[in-house]
Each structure stands twice: as structure tokens, then as C-alpha cells.
């Protein structure tokens, strides 16, 4: 009888430890900081000129589109000349 009781206690302690580790590890996963959303910009133009090796000159004639890098992005359209 005593041997089966010890076996049962060891089994319950093992199950408790597994549950405890599962809860603790999942709480760390939920506590992770999500990276801050970043904004991307698309300059829309009919033409562009390279003034040197590092500069592209593009007239603002059709506007600039700004949007976030998330799965469901939010965005804004900036009109030309604003």
C-alpha cells in the first residue's frame, strides 16, 4: 500500500511540475514586447533624374503614400503641393 501511495505522489508531483512549467513559459511568451510599427513612404512620380550617385530628384506631382508595416496597414495619402 505504501509503495503505491509513494508512486501516486511522485506522479502527481510530476504532473504539477509540468503544468507549472507550461503556465510559466506561456506567460513569458505573452509578455514579449511587440515591435513598434514603422511607417513606409512611397513617392509616386512620372519621372525622376539622378543628379549624382546618391541623389534622385523626383518632382512631387502625384503625391506621397504613407502606410504602416503591419498585416492590416493603416495609411495616408499626401497630395502634391501640400
pLDDT tens digit string along 44-80? 888 889 989 999 888 887 788 888 888 788 888 877 6
Do 74 and 48 belong to one domain?
Answer: yes
Structural domain boundaries enclosing 53:
39-78
Do 26 and 47 belong to one domain?
Answer: no
Q: Give every CB contact of residue 58 below 8 A, 6+ residues apart in sequence.
A: 43, 45, 47, 48
Q: Please, what is the Cα angle at 21 between 18 and 23, to 5 degrees?
A: 110
Do 73 and 43 belong to one domain?
Answer: yes
pTM for the structure as a whole:
0.44
Q: Please, what is the Cα angle at 20 between 16 and 30, to 5 degrees?
A: 155
Do 44 and 64 belong to one domain?
Answer: yes
Amino acid at each position: 500500500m505504501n509503495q503505491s501511495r509513494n508512486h501516486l505522489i511522485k506522479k502527481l508531483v510530476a504532473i504539477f511540475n509540468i503544468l507549472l512549467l507550461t503556465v510559466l513559459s506561456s506567460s513569458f511568451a505573452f509578455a514579449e514586447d511587440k515591435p513598434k510599427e514603422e511607417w513606409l513612404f512611397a513617392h509616386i512620380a512620372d519621372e525622376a533624374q539622378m543628379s549624382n550617385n546618391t541623389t534622385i530628384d523626383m518632382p512631387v506631382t502625384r503625391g506621397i503614400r504613407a502606410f504602416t508595416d503591419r498585416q492590416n496597414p493603416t495609411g495616408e495619402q499626401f497630395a502634391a503641393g501640400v
